[in-house]
Copies of this chain bind each other. A is one copy, B any other.
Amino acid sequence: MAGGVRIRAATPGDAPLLHELVTALAVYEREPDAVKASVEDLRASLFGEGATAHALVCEQGGAVVGFAVYFFNYSTWLGRNGLYLEDLFVRPEHRGKGAGLALLRHLARLALDKGCGRFEWSVLDWNQPAIDFYRAAGAQPMDEWTVYRMEGEALRAFAHG
């Protein structure tokens, strides 16, 4: 891999590290208070019985420089799973040395290995450096679609309405 990048599956012992990286990503995305998960929440949800999401750790030059979390989504039109990248983050001080590209390529290969028809992720509309990076890699924006979310009290009220 480029620049001595090593990518490995995260283990339960990485939960504190993942929590630190997830928090750093939230700061970058201008939502520093958005991380509600504790270290134990991440450990249980990523490594506990029935876990459906998976984490990768990216090391370069002996240091942990980034991480990714993914799960398998699905397309009825294809009748196949896809690979959905929930988070990809490289610490700002370690950018520009191939770690992000190596993570994205690792995931693209994993998608093909798993027989997935698509590899997808979401990008904040103001994050032009990321958009340029992803478009250059061959990804297309799904411009016609908007995700709707129900959560918290609205979800409870609707469910029991």
Contacts and interface: CB of A to CB of B under 8 A. Distances in A.
Copies in the complex: 2
B117 A151 contact: yes
Contacts of A52: 52, 71-72, 74, 81
Contacts of A41: 78-80
Interface of A: 18, 22, 25-26, 31, 34-38, 41-42, 44-45, 52-53, 69, 71-81, 84, 86-87, 104-105, 108-109, 111-112, 117-126, 134-135, 137-151, 154-161
B150 A119 contact: yes
Contacts of A140: 148-150, 154
Given A118-B149, A150-B137, A76 B37 contact: yes
Contact of A123 (B109, B145, B157): B145
Contacts of A158: 104-105, 108, 137-138
B22 A77 contact: yes
Given A42-B76, A77-B36, A151 B105 contact: no
Contacts of A139: 148-150, 154
B76 A73 contact: no
A159 B116 CA distance: 13
Contact of A155 (B81, B112, B146, B157): B112
Contacts of A81: 45, 52-53
A34 B78 CA distance: 8
